Every structure is written in C-alpha cells, then in structure tokens.
C-alpha cells in the first residue's frame, strides 16, 4: 500500500512540475511580445492607410515606403495646435507622394499623441526612432515636451522640425555642437516677446507692466524672455509678477493684486484653457486691463470657451494670416476643400511647411537622416506657404521665422485682425 501511494505521489509530483514549467513559460512569451504602452494612434499621411509599417520594428524603410514621424498633442490643452499641424503634414505628404515620392518610395506618416505630457513625449519619440525607424520627425506642440525629448533626436542624429513649440532655448540647445538636428518653423518666444514689448513700450509708452505666466516650461521660458528683454532693451522690470498652475479654476487673486498695483498693461503667457480662465476672471471682477500675449491667445479654442470676452483689450502675436499672400490664400482654400474647415490656419501652415522642408530635402539627398539634416540646413530654394524664406535655415540659424515676420493682432467682433 505504501509503495502504491509512493508511485502515485511521484506521478503527481512529475505532473505538477510539468504544469509549473508550462505555466512559467506563458508569461515570458507574453512579455516578450508586448508593445510599449501607448495611447498613441498611427495613420498614413494619405487617405489610404498602408499597414505595412504598423507596429513593425525595423522594416519601415523597406519596399516602397519610408516613415516620417510625428509626435504632437492630439489631446490636452494644445490639441487644436496638434490637429491643425497634423493636417498640414498630411497635405505635404500627399503632394510628395503624388509627385512620385523619392525614387518611387512613398512617405508614410507615423503619428503619436504625446498628450501634452513630457514623459509621454519622450516615450513616443524614442519609439519613432528605435522601432518605427523614422528618417525625420515633425513635432511637438509643447515647449516642455520638446525640452524633454530633443536629446534623443539629437543623439540619434534624426532631424526634427518643430511646427508649434516656441520655447526660445529649444533650437539653441545644441547650437554649439558640430551639427544641430533641431529646426523650427514657428514664431519662437524671444521673437514674440520682442514684438510684444516693442508695441507696448515703444509704440504705446507703457512703463508699468505686470507679468502673469503659467508654471509649465512654456510659461517659464516666456517669463525668462520677458525679464531679459525688458532689462536689456528698456532698463525696466515688471511692477508685478504673478503665476498660475495649469488647471487653476480662477485667477481672481492674481488679478486683484495686479489691479491694486495700477499697471499700464499685463504681459500674459499661458495656453488656451488658462487664457479662458484669465478672461473669465477679468470679467468676474470687472477689470479689463490691456493684455499683450503670445500667439496662444489666438488659439481658436479661446473663443470657443469664452465667446465675446475675446473682444476686450487683447493683443497677441501672429506671424501668418490667410490674406498675407496668394500662396497662403490658395493653401487655405485647399485645407477647406480637404477637411471642410481650417481650424487653426497658422498651425496648419506651419505643419505643412515643417513636413515640406523635410520632404524637399529627401528629394535631393534620399533617406539618410544625417544627409537630410544637412540638406535642410543648406536649402536655398524652399517654397512654402508661411513667411519662411527660400533659405529658411543656416548653420547659425535654425529659426525659419524671424521678428520681421511677427506682428500684433487683436480680435474685432470675434475675428482676428490687425489693430
């Protein structure tokens, strides 16, 4: 009896060992095949959606396609910037592919939503570089995201053209290196601040200014530019400096302090949702100071959130209008024909030009990322829809738009116009 029980026990033991080994193998296989966590989406740059590059590591430059990467916010406070820029990139890719691509190879857009979060931006940009094998990247919309991830594009020697994020230091971070891989086609903050202060101090004679900014990388960068240029160019300092957090429900306390200081005007640095909170707070306490702001004040989201409150004493930087040239007008009409609307004309135009300068470089030198960078920097025949010139960049300048391209606009009956 004891011997029979021993054999059964032995058989049971063998069964359990095998079962444990099988069970142990399962999770290892699952882990090995899992993809990086991401809520990002992928799409083709054309209306058709080639699937050959979807989630396929290391194969994107095979066959008849190559990948142009894009990491930008399609959710969060800068979602409208991202959506508009994405449409511009899609249109540039369509034109490139319709013209034959590069030696028959067509561009495919690999797009990720960075959710306006720096950590997410780092994740998806690394994925574009290492897994999707993007030959170049367009993005992002947020300066904090750019600051977080550009070291990866720089180190990987993958050129990145920024269509929205305006933090001054972004393109200067690697300016001292032999080759700088970061370019921009958007009104950089230092240029915007110069435009704002020239209007306020030189043209209007305002000397007593308040500064109200958010605490993100965007607002902090704007604050640094304002303080630097006020001191160096006008020997002035803000009479009041106040800040706010993204998501704050009210700015009445900050506005009350500023009101008590009796300033001539407020320099405002924040994104659309916070602009809306600011305008509602002004209205609630019945205080409507002249406000000079970055181009974020012209985000269509602001008007959607506050309606007619945009019509009271607001001035903000712009660098593109639909009627600035025949090319700009024709491009706007193409956008409307394709999408039924032009939700954010300046961002769409900058997205288009950002992709076009990359694709124009590819036409010249092929799909080697380092050669693409060199061709972008040395291009002399660029033909875009923004005010970027035929030679948008050089070794010492990676900003396609200059102070000469920027001006102040305002709302007149809800429509953006020059003052």
What is the DSSP pairing of strand 65-72 with strand 314-318? unpaired
Q: Enter the DSSP assignment of 317.
A: E
Using CA atoms, how far apart are residues 221 and 256, in angstroms rounded to an integer?
A: 24
Query: Residue 27 pLDDT more than 80?
Result: no
Q: What is the pLDDT of residues 252-276, one digit of tens each?
A: 999 999 999 999 999 999 988 999 9
d(C-alpha 398, C-alpha 403), whole Å = 14
51-84 pLDDT per residue, tens: 333 333 334 555 799 999 999 999 987 899 999 9
pLDDT tens digits along 223-257: 999 999 999 999 999 999 999 999 999 999 999 99
Share of the chain above pLDDT 90, in %: 74
Q: CB-based burial of residue 224 (10 Å sphere; 0-12 exposed, 13-18 middle, 19+ buried)?
A: middle
Assess contact for 163 and 354: CB atoms under 8 A.
yes
3-state secondary structure 248-285: CCCCHHHHHHHHHHCCCEEEEECCHHHHHHHHHHHHHH
- Tens digit of pLDDT for each residue in 351-362? 999 999 999 999
pLDDT for 224 = 92
Q: Which of 25-29, 81-85, 234-238, 328-332 has the lowest mean pLDDT?
A: 25-29
pLDDT, one tens digit per residue, over 192-223 is: 999 999 999 999 999 999 999 999 878 988 99
Do β-strands 136-138 and 106-113 pair in parallel, antiparallel, or remain unpaired?
Answer: unpaired
Cα separation, 72 vs 146, in Å, equals 10
Of 315, 326, 309, 311, residue with least CA distance to 383: 326
* pTM (predicted TM-score): 0.78
Q: Which helix (H) or strand (E) holds 160?
A: strand 160-162
- The pLDDT of residue 62: 59
Where residue 346 falls among pLDDT bands split at 50, 70, 90? very high
């Amino acid at each position: 009896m004891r011997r029979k029980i021993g054999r059964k026990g032995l058989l049971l033991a063998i069964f359990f060992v095998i079962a444990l080994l099988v069970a142990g193998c399962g999770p290892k296989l699952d882990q090995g095949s899992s993809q990086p966590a991401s809520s990002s989406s992928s799409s083709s740059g054309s209306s058709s959606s080639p699937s050959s590059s979807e989630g396929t590591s290391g194969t994107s430059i095979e066959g008849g396609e190559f990948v142009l990467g894009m990491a930008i916010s399609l959710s969060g406070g800068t979602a409208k910037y991202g959506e508009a820029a994405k449409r511009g990139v899609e249109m540039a890719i369509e034109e490139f592919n319709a013209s034959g691509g590069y030696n028959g190879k067509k561009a495919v857009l690999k797009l990720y939503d960075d959710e306006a979060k720096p950590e997410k931006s780092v994740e998806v940009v690394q994925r574009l570089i290492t897994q999707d094998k993007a030959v170049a990247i367009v993005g992002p919309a947020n300066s904090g995201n750019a600051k977080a991830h550009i070291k990866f594009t720089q180190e990987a020697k993958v050129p990145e053209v920024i269509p929205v994020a305006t933090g001054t230091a972004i393109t200067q971070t690697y300016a001292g290196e032999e080759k700088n891989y970061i370019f921009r086609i958007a009104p950089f903050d230092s240029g915007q601040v110069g435009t704002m202060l020239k209007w306020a101090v030189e043209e209007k004679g305002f000397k007593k200014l308040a500064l109200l900014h958010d605490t993100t990388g965007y607002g902090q960068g704007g604050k640094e530019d304002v303080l630097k240029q006020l001191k160096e160019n006008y020997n002035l300092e803000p009479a009041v400096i106040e800040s706010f957090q993204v998501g704050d429900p009210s700015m009445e306390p900050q506005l009350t302090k500023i009101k008590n200081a009796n300033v001539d005007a407020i320099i405002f640095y924040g994104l659309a949702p916070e602009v809306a909170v600011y305008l509602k707070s002004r209205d609630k306490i019945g205080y409507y100071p002249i406000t000079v702001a970055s181009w974020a004040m012209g985000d269509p989201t602001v008007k959607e959130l506050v309606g007619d409150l945009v019509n009271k004493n607001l001035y903000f930087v712009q660098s593109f209008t639909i009627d600035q040239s025949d090319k700009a007008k024709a491009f706007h009409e193409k956008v409307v024909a394709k999408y039924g609307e032009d939700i954010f004309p300046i961002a769409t135009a900058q997205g288009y030009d950002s992709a076009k300068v990359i694709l124009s470089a590819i036409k010249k030198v092929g799909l080697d990322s380092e050669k693409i960078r060199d061709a972008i920097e040395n291009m002399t025949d660029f033909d875009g829809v923004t005010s970027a010139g035929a030679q948008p960049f050089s070794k010492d300048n990676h900003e396609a738009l200059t102070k000469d391209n920027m001006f102040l606009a305002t709302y007149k009956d809800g429509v953006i116009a020059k003052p």
